[in-house]
Amino acid sequence: MKRVLLSWSSGKDSAWALHALRRRPDVELVGLLTTFNEAAGRVAMHAVRRALVEAQAEAAGLPLTAVMLPQPCTNEAYERRMKDAIAAARSEGVTHMAFGDLFLEDIRAYRVRLLDGSGVGPLFPIWTSREETPALAAAMLAAGIEAVLTCVDSRQLDPGFVGRPFDAALLADLPEGVDPCGERGEFHTFCRRCPAFSTEIAVTPGEVVVRDGFHFADLVPA
């Protein structure tokens, strides 16, 4: 039996990984791990409030490990704090860490390297190919995943998409070349409903903030 800690971004891919892991008989999920900007108290890149991530963890019935990152955060500082968190997890019996990555080989290689020598093995439960992400996005929706776009990279996607629900209409509106799961960083999401949640996390898109070409919708509890 693998005792698994799931890297949790608060988005739909993390939620789909949670759903996939819950269906595996060889896995015992022991918790979620999220990195937060310690100054803002929000998820890095997604800019989701910590309280909403805590609500997701409660809905999933899992404890949340918060890794606080300085602002600005160098890669060295990120790796040091992550390795400390991984070592602590290993001391508590965690054998594997799972990630919701889909097809970016360089990201996968980085995750593997970060865990190398820690005694914690990597898992990629929803790994697929770039050709299969349209079908994957459709499967998420069919299974009941509901999410909201919290961040849009305006260099890859029109900022008008921020705050929109991740649904069939959005997928139909995405321009050619944009991955339907946003795997190349075109957009990031917050998952409000998931088969692995006991309840929906009700949110409303609020103020939109622009930083360095990224448009963030501030999600507030509804």
Please, what are the domains in the chain?
2-123 (3.40.50.620), 130-221 (no CATH)
Average pLDDT (79-101) is 98
Percent of the chain predicted with pLDDT > 90: 97
* Per-residue pLDDT at 11 exceeds 90: yes
Write the DSSP assignment of 4-15 as a string of letters: EEEE--SSHHHH
pTM for the full model? Answer: 0.96
pLDDT at 44: 83
3-state secondary structure 104-160: CHHHHHHHHHHHCCCCCEEECCCCCCHHHHHHHHHHHHHCCCEEEEEEEECCCCCHH
> Residue 45 — pLDDT band, cuts 50, 70, 90?
confident
